[in-house]
Structure 1
Amino acid sequence: MEYVSPCRCGNEQVKLALPSPLQSYQSRAFDCDFCMVQKAAYLSDPVGKLEVIYSHKRQGVMQDAKQAIFWHVPKPHSG
């Protein structure tokens, strides 16, 4: 099954390919302090594929234990 969704900003897109329907997976919450603040959740499948298509500069935020980088598009400055 393939899923495509835009980012909240509308400029980025995520493509997710999984062997089973999305509803058959159970999301899991990260329990470290960094991830809890970010409200991060995940699901996994060893044969799944995730593709992020971006058109703007991304900013990486390193998780405290240096095990993961979270990529996001910086919020536009209002001025």
Structure 2
Amino acid sequence: MKPLKLPKEQRDMIIDNIRAHFEAERGETIGHLAADNLLEFFLQELGPTIYNSALGDCRTLVGQRMQAMEEDIYALEWSKRS
């Protein structure tokens, strides 16, 4: 899997949120670079797990939709009359 790249605006917003979280929850002030490094660490560590979980959800949804389509197709078949 290729590394996850976030758009600059989104990345900056998340970095601001990380900095605000550290200030509010821990009473610590961290700089932009430290927050960016923390974001990058979490993207590398959590990204693949979250991505794979999302793919699993997609597989489940597609399977359900395919089952429903198959049932609809069977409902359209003409039955032979005896």
Q: From the two aligned structures, give the one with the greater strand fraction.
A: 1
Q: TM-score range by the shorter chain?
A: under 0.3
TM-score (ref. length: structure 1): 0.22
